């Protein structure tokens, strides 16, 4: 298993992670090792085996669709990097 630097840049872009150019080759190496190790799974015969999503085969519990929480916006926004008038600020998206 090997990964090109371009493949690593593409994965990082999908994951929304900046990588320094100097890091790319090392990341490629280590990711390739990890993917090589998990590649062992390919040799296992899983014909007819159902995929397992939950250790107890539980199903999602449902609740009535009613208001159960009170408004904590102001409290929660204390952790926000940048807000104004109760809104989260980000760089302009629409000109």
Partner 1 sequence: MTALHAETLAELAGRLARGDCSSVELTRHFLSRIAAHDAGLNCFISVLEARALAQAEAADRRRARGEAGPLSGLPIAHKDIFCARDTRTTCGSRMLEGFVSPYDAAVVERLDAAGVVTLGKTNMDEFAMGSSNETSYFGPVRNPWDPARVPGGSSGGSAAAVAAGLAPAATGTDTGGSIRQPAALTGLTGLKPTYGRVSRWGMVAFASSLDQAGTLTRSAEDAALLLAAIAGADRRDSTSVEAAVPDYREALDAEPGRLRIGVPRGFFDEGLEAGVAVAVREALGEYERQGAALVEVDLPNLQLSVPTYYVVAPAEASSNLSRFDGVRFGHRCEAPQDLLDLYERSRGEGFGAEVKRRIMTGTYVLSAGYYDAYYLKAQQVRQLITADFARAFERVDLLMGPTTPTPAFELGAKTADPVQMYLNDIYTIGVNLAGLPGISIPCGEVAGLPVGLQIIAPHFGEAALLGAAHRYQRATDWHRRLPAAYA
Helix (H, G, I), strand (E, B) or coil at 83: strand
Contact flag: residue 41 with partner 1 (CB under 8 A): yes
Contact flag: residue 52 with partner 1 (CB under 8 A): yes
Q: How far is the CB of 52 from partner 1 (least distance, A)?
A: 4
Judge contact between 19 and 9, C-beta under 8 A. Answer: yes
| Percent of residues in the chain assigned helix, strand, coil, to nearest 5 | 40, 5, 55
Block residue for tokens 């999602």:
60
Residues that bind partner 1 (CB under 8 A): 8, 11-19, 27, 30-31, 33-35, 37-42, 44, 46, 49-56, 58, 60-61, 63, 72, 75-76, 78-82, 88, 90-91, 93
């Amino acid at each position: 298993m090997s990964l090109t630097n371009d493949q690593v840049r593409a994965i990082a872009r999908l994951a929304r992670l900046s990588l320094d150019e100097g890091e790319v080759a090392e990341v490629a190496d280590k990711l390739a090792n990890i993917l090589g190790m998990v590649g062992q799974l390919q040799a296992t015969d899983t014909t007819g085996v159902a995929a397992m999503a939950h250790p107890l085969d539980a199903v999602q519990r449902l609740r009535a669709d009613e208001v159960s929480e009170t408004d904590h916006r102001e409290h929660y926004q204390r952790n926000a990097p940048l807000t104004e008038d109760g809104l989260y600020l980000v760089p302009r998206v629409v000109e």
